[in-house]
Amino acid sequence: MTIRSASAAITLALLCTALAPAAQAGERKLFENVRGWEVERNVGAPGPNACQMAYSYRDKDDKNAENAIVVTLKGDKLVLILGYENWEWDKDEAVQAPMSIDKQVVYAKQGWTGDGKLLSTELPGAVIPKLLKGKQIVLKFDNGEADFRIPGFADAFDGLKRCDAAAAAPAPAAAQAAPAPLTSRIEAYMFGLLLQRTVASCDVSTTGMQRTALDAKVAALRPEMAPVEAAVQEQMKAPDVPGCPKTGTEKGQFEIELSAYLTQSPEDYVASAGKRSAERKAAAETAKAEAEMRAKIEAQMRAEAETKRKAEADAQAKAEMEARIRAEVEAKLRAEAAASATQAPKP
């Protein structure tokens, strides 16, 4: 095994592939992003543990070497894969490396399996509470230590459990001539899907409790949406569907909508959301009208100021011309008077 090498950096995709059979490696679907972790579901994997959570970063204190951590559950055990750009293990190489969480040794003789830039192991479920509180994982080797940061592990692990639960839940039975749901409930369902998309893909702040409640609200509406599900999903792809909130104001509006969605009934939420939308539209139109009025007044004031400046400039030019003409006339008169005085006959 070569500890340092000039090989190319590992990528998160490599680690994801390492967890799934080659035939299923392309079937992973993002469940959500949680504090830098990507929680993904293998849609082709059977069983209750079809999801994984992964985090990668570059260590500026180690020449920007890439590090990665991947976690998945396996029954009552936890599968941990660690990746480091400068490792080079033989395939299936057996490695003994004590494992610590922060400064506490949790397994003094932990066995690992090497494969290129990866080390993997299975850990008892008893390690989970320590990981939930930890900030880094440290492996100790004869020639040094390898540390891996795990910020936000607790929130990401909460997302992993919810992903596994959603993957294991049975699909709703097909509706038999079910009536179309009410328009207000369809709108509430679409709002929920949009909020889920925003939580999973955008840089917004949410808690594990909020995400769990949101998933439950949407799941409760899903069975009655069977007659219109295809149309709803198609509508969600429309170009006018809102994307990620970018400004502070937009993120504040997202937080208001999420809170209202979680506390109100579907019908009440649709009504209140429509009212808030109308108020925001009216406020935007008022602000636009005020801005246009200010611009018009400022333009008028500039035009008046320019007219006044031009008039003053014209008056000054006229005054200067008249003064110059008077000066020329007076000079001419003085010259003529002087000439007449010199030519007058002597008595």
User: Which tens digit of pLDDT belongs to each residue from 158-208?
Assistant: 999 999 888 776 655 544 556 778 888 999 999 999 999 999 989 888 998
pTM score over 0.75: no
Tokens of 125: 């479920």
What is the pLDDT, as a whole number, of residue 172?
A: 58
What is the pLDDT, as a whole number, of residue 178?
A: 65
- Whose structure tokens read 């999420």? 258
Helices 183-201 and 248-263 pack at an angle, to 10 degrees, of 130
What is the pLDDT, as a whole number, of residue 119?
A: 95
User: In 3-state terms, the chain is what percent helix, strand and coil (to 5)?
Assistant: 50, 25, 25
Residue type, 152: G
CA–CA distances in Å: residue 300 to residues 6, 191, 291, 313: 68, 45, 14, 20
Identify the H or E element spanning 157: helix 153-168
- Whose structure tokens read 């990528």? 11
Give dist(CA 214, CA 89) in Å, integer: 43
DSSP for residue 224 = G
Which of 94, 91, 121, 90 lies closest to 107, judged by CA?
Answer: 121
- Whose structure tokens read 């990620």? 244
Burial class (CB in 10 A: 0-12, 13-18, 19+), 81: buried
Identify the H or E element spanning 35: none
Please give the CATH architecture assigned to the domain spanning 12-155.
Sandwich (2.60)
Burial class (CB in 10 A: 0-12, 13-18, 19+), 197: middle
The residues that bridge with 118 in the sheet, in sequence order, are 83, 115
What is the pLDDT, as a whole number, of residue 4?
A: 30
- The SS3 assignment for 198 reads helix
Residue spans of the chain under pLDDT 50: 1-14, 16-26, 174-175
Give dist(CA 43, CA 52) in Å, integer: 12
Cβ–Cβ < 8 Å for 187, 270: yes
Give dist(CA 6, CA 4) in Å, integer: 7
Cβ–Cβ < 8 Å for 114, 93: yes
Cβ–Cβ < 8 Å for 118, 89: yes
- Whose structure tokens read 């459990």? 161
Domain residue extents for the chain: 12-155, 172-263
What is the pLDDT, as a whole number, of residue 13?
A: 41
Give dist(CA 185, CA 267) in Å, integer: 6
What do you get for the CA distance between the two ends of the chain, in Å?
Answer: 135
